[in-house]
Structure 1
Amino acid sequence: MSRIAIINPAFEVSYWGLEYSQPLFGKKANMPVASLPLLAALTPPEHEVVLFDENVETLDFEELETFDIVALTGMSVQRFRMDSIVSELKDRGCFVVIGGPWVTVEEDYFGDRADVIFIGEAEDTWPRFLKEWQDDEHQHRYEQTEKTEMATVPTPRHDLLKNKHYLVGSLQISRGCPFQCEFCDIIVTFGRRPRIKQASQVTAELDSLLGQGMHIVFIVDDNLIGNKAAIKPVLREVAAWQQKHGYPIVFSTEASLDLCEDDELMELMAEANIQSVFIGLESPDEESLKETKKYQNVRSRGGTMLDKVHRIQDFGLEVWCGLIVGFDNDTSAIFATQQKFLKDSRIAHAMVGLLHAIPKTPLHARLLEEGRLDLADEHHFGTNVIPKGMTRDELLQGYLETMRNAYEPDVYFDRLDQLFVRDRFEFRALNTDYFQQHPWQRRKQFAIFTAGFVAMFIRLMWKIPDADLRRTYRRQIWGAVRKRFTSPDIYFFYVLKCAMHYHHHRMTTEMIDDPSKFVSSYGKAMRSDQPAAEKASCHPVPELQPAGNVGVVASPGLPVVEVGSSS
């Protein structure tokens, strides 16, 4: 028997990480990357596996020395921490294995310090490596010749995670996306044919998550609805599982904008208790969308992009989004355009990102040929893209101003109130036929929301150090309670959004006050921290490539995304 350590390195402060809000929730991190428990499940039982997530615990290198194999996974935004961990492990004589999104697109990044690297998915190659390693016949590089059939993926070992430290659990149902966005690495890694688990696999994993006390779960698929016909029967089974267990889990996920075209699909998502959906909107400029081949956002069916967002919201699914600045068609006018679009869309949570060219994507190849890539490992303007319609400094400063504007309290709460207070948004999940026919279940849910609201309000008033923000939150929350008094679900979510605003506002303020910190931190990896550039986002590929997420979600329905959204 061999002892195997699998490590997820620490993330730097990020938009979806909600690091500044975690004390309000009593947690250390939003969500575990899906690769850790999946790799553990793929490991033959004769081996001992221990999972380490540096986001919730400090690495003990003396302990790591005692393992036969030390494996790391990680995304581009983790690569500098990965590099330092690898150096420390090699100095101690450890056998080091590296996989995940970053090494998949930059195979030579760690040089000869990696004893073994894994490219792409690893359901087949990870067990094969372990057998060859035992026989002293292992290779240096492993890459599957075929994409993993999701029907063969085992239930991840959620029991091996330190679940008490996470706010949200992670679940993967499918991989792959049918679209062809130029900047996205998802289709490079997973392909354009969506592959979906069987419904029985999904419900078995829900049993596992519930057994670990997870009641908020992010479905990390890069586009849950990539194959609409195939996902519908799975959603029906998830809805049946929810009804059988009394709706114990709240979901959020990622999907493409064409969700608005399918009422049946939206209803099934609601019945499964999916309450929020992240959508890669990227830009209100149609020429920029066509440039990046995001054709699903510009087709005329369903009206304008704003019409489509409103349709999804009016149905009863909250929309989160990613926006990108820095396309070739963008001039300095794009920043005001993005700000107006964000206001009109009524979207509270939008991660604006700088376009970033990820290795192996069509965007990277095109810009490399055009001589418009900053090839340094650290990018002093927050991205490796040299823009066409403005200077690099204009792009960075416009980006920072757009983020500042988005999370100024009065601007943020104007968007939030427009949707939740003035337009009286209702979560469809709590108004499906099941809840209409089981009013006691609806009352139970409302009691939970009321208790949660009281607890979170007290935490906000107790733990947020900024007195001006506390006053703002207090005024806004009581205004929402007065106007939506019969809807405890609404003011529960409202108080959560105040907690999330605290993180976004503080993070943005720090970026504005010290851009050099932003450049040295975010710019290092700047897949842009959100669907703005790269999307090694929520995909748990068995990050050896089972998977990763950049960030994490914070409330029922927070998508966690890194960058390069395909949805």
Structure 2
Amino acid sequence: MVKIAIVNPAFEVSYWGLEHAQPMLGRRANMPVASLPLLAALTPAEHDVTLIDENVEPIDFEALADFDLVGVTGMSVQRFRMAEILQELKSRDIFVALGGPWVTVEEDYFEDLADVIFIGEAETTWPQFLDEWQQGTHRYRYEQTARTDMSTVPTPRHDLLKNKYYMFGSLQFSRGCPFQCEFCDIIVTFGRKPRIKQPSQIIDELECLRREGLKIAFIVDDNLIGNKRGIKPVLKEVAKWQEDNGYPLAFSTEASLDLCEDDELMELMARCNIQSVFIGIETPNEESLKETKKYQNVRERGGTMLEKIHQIQDFGIEVWCGLIVGFDNDTTEIFETQKTFLKESRIAHAMIGLLHAIPKTPLHARLQQEGRLDTNDDQAFGTNVIPKQMTREELRDGYIETMRHAYQPDVYFDRLDDLFITGGFRTRVFDTDHFRARPLLRLRQSAFYFAGFAVLFWRLMRHTPDRELRQIYRSRILNVVRQRLTDPAIYFYYVIKCAMHYHHHKMTADIIEHPDTFVSTIGKSMRTSTPAVEPLALQVLTKQTTCP
């Protein structure tokens, strides 16, 4: 028996990390990285596997010295902490296997700190390495010759995670995206042909999450609807599982904007209890979208981008989005344009980021050829991209101001209230035929959300240190309760959004207070997409934002 530990390094404070909100929600991290339980499942049963996530527990290096093998994963945003961990392991003469998004795109970054590295997906290379390592014939570098057949992926070992410390669970239905966004590394790593698990695999994983007591999970697919025809049978089986089991889980996911074009698909997602979707909007500047080859956001079918967003919201699925500033077609006017678009879209949660060129993407290759890449690893302007129509200072300062404005309390809550109160947003699942025909199920769900609201409201009031913000949260929450008295799910989620606002507001305030030092941190820690959950070779490549 081989004793194996697999380590995920701590993230720095970032948009999706919700670090400042964790005390309010009674957790230590938002989600586990999906690579940890997957790698454990890929490990032959005769070996002993321990999963260590530094985001919920400290690393005991003394204890790691007792393991035969230590695996370390990590994305680009974790690379500095990864280096520290690898150096400590090397000083203790511990055998180290290294994988994940960053080493996949920068193989030489960690030099000789690892004994073996994994590039890309690892469903076949990880078991192969373990067998060869025991025989003393292992190589230094492993990379699969073919993309993973998703029908062969085992059920991740969620039982090995410390799930009580996470807000949400995570799972995966598919990999790959059919689009060709220039900045996105997902199509480089996963390809443009989506590969989907069998329904039975997904149902097994849902059962595992339920046994672990999880109530909310993020479906980490980079574009759940990349293959619309292929995903519909899967969603039908998930919907049936939810209906047969009384809807034990609520989901969020990522998808492309063309979701609005398919009512059948949206209805299936609603029946699965997918309550929100993250969409890579990127920019209202159509020339920038064409520049980056995000053609799916500019095609005329379905209306304008705002109309498409409103269609999804009006259907009953909340929209979160990613926005980017710094495209070649962006001038300093883009910052006011983004502010206006965000207000009109009624999107509360917008991850605004600086355009960043990830190695091996078409954007990186183009800018390298043009001599417009900052090769300093600790970028003083928060990005390695040298903009075309503004100075680096203008891009940095415009970004900071856009973030400040987006999470100014009155601006944020006006967007939220425009959707929840004025727009009367209601989560679609509660209006499906299944719920309408089962009043007891509706009552049980209402009781769950009301109890959750009461607990979270108490925690929010107790753990928000800023008195003025507490007053704002209390006033806004009481208003939504008065307006939506018979819909406890809405004010349950409203409290969560207050906690999320505190994190975004605090993070932005820190950027403003320390612009020089903190913007440098953006370049190190800005999470692109929902990177805490992308599962690849000891974890996959991260991307600029959701490519869809």
Give yes or no for TM over 0.5: yes
Residue type of the partner of 1:323? L
Report the Cα offset of residue 548 of structure 1: 7.6
CA shift, 1:536, in A, is 5.3
Aligned to 2:485: 485
Distance 1:327 1:483 in 2: 41
Q: Counterpart of 1:300 in 2: which secondary structure? A: coil
Show the counterpart of 2:238. 238
The residue correspondences of 1:427-506 to structure 2 (distance < 5 A) are 427-506=427-506
For residues 389 and 69 of structure 1, what CA distance do their matches in structure 2 show? 50
Seen in structure 2, the aligned counterparts of structure 1 residues 122 and 189 have a Cα distance that, compared at 3 Å, is same
Partner residue in 2 for 1:78: 78
1: CA distance, partners of 2:229 / 2:481: 40
1:164-313 to 2 correspondence within 5 Å? 164-313=164-313
**Number of aligned residue pairs:** 548
Q: Who is 1:539 aligned against?
A: 534
Quote the Cα distance in structure 1 between the aligned partners of 2:456 and 2:242.
25
SS in structure 2 at match of 1:399: helix
Alignment-derived partner of residue 564 in structure 1: 545
Q: Which sections of structure 2, spanning at least 5 residues, go unmatched?
A: none
**2:528 aligns to what?**
530
Give the equivalent residue in structure 1 for 2:51: 51
Aligned to 1:446, the other structure's residue is in SS state helix
The answer as to whether partners of 1:221 and 1:538 remain within 8 angstroms in 2 is no
Contact map agreement 2:189 2:541 (CA 8 A) in 1: no
Letter paired with 2:469: L
Partner SS state of residue 117, structure 1: strand
Residues 175-215 of structure 1: CA deviation (Å, up to 9, x unaligned): 00000000000011111110000000000000001001111
CA distance in 1, matches of 2:195, 2:401: 40
Q: Which structure ranks higher in relative contact order (CA pairs < 8 Å, sequence separation ≥ 6)?
A: 1
Residue 47 of structure 1, CA deviation: 1.0
Decide which moves more: 441-450 or 310-319: 441-450
Secondary structure of 2:319's partner? strand
1:15/1:530 contact within 8 Å kept: no
Instruction: Work out the CA distance in 1 between the residues paired with 2:307 and 2:93.
Output: 58
Q: How far is 1:461 from its partner? A: 1.2
Distance 1:518 1:167 in 2: 26
- Mapped to 2, the partners of 1:280 and 1:63 lie a distance apart of 42
Structure 2 CA distance, aligned partners of 1:119 and 1:536?
17
CA–CA separation in structure 1 for the residues paired with 2:458 and 2:297: 41
Residues 1:342 and 2:342 aligned together = yes
Q: Distance in 2 between matches of 1:145 and 1:180?
A: 22
- TM-score, normalised to structure 2, is 0.99
The alpha carbon displacement at 1:564 in A equals 3.2
Paired AA for residue 82 in structure 2? M
For residues 223-281 of structure 1, what are the alpha-carbon distances to aligned partners after superposition, in whole Å with 9 as ceiling and x for unaligned?
Answer: 00000001101111101111111101000000000000000000000000000000000
Secondary structure at the aligned position of 1:37 is classed as helix
8 Å contact kept, 2:381–2:520: no
Residue of structure 1 in register with 2:415 after alignment: 415
Q: What is the Cα deviation at residue 530 of structure 1? A: 3.2
Give unmatched runs, 5+ long, in structure 1: 550-561
Deviations 1:379-411 (A, max 9, x none): 000000000010001001000000000000000
**d(CA) in 2 for partners of 1:460 and 1:365?**
46
Q: SS at the partner of 2:112?
A: helix
Distance 1:355 1:82 in 2: 24
Equivalent residue letter for 1:46: E
Identical aligned residues as a percent: 68
- Residue 537 (structure 1) shift: 6.3
- Shift in Å, 1:522: 2.0
Distance 2:267 2:448 in 1: 23
Q: Please tell me whether the aligned partners of residues 182 and 293 of structure 1 are also in contact (alpha carbons under 8 angstroms).
A: yes
SS at match of 1:111: coil
**Aligned Cα root-mean-square deviation (Å):** 1.1
**Rounded Cα–Cα distance in structure 2 between residues aligned with 1:520 and 1:193:** 36
Deviation, structure 1 residue 565: 2.1
**How does 1:382-401 map onto structure 2 within 5 Å?**
382-401=382-401
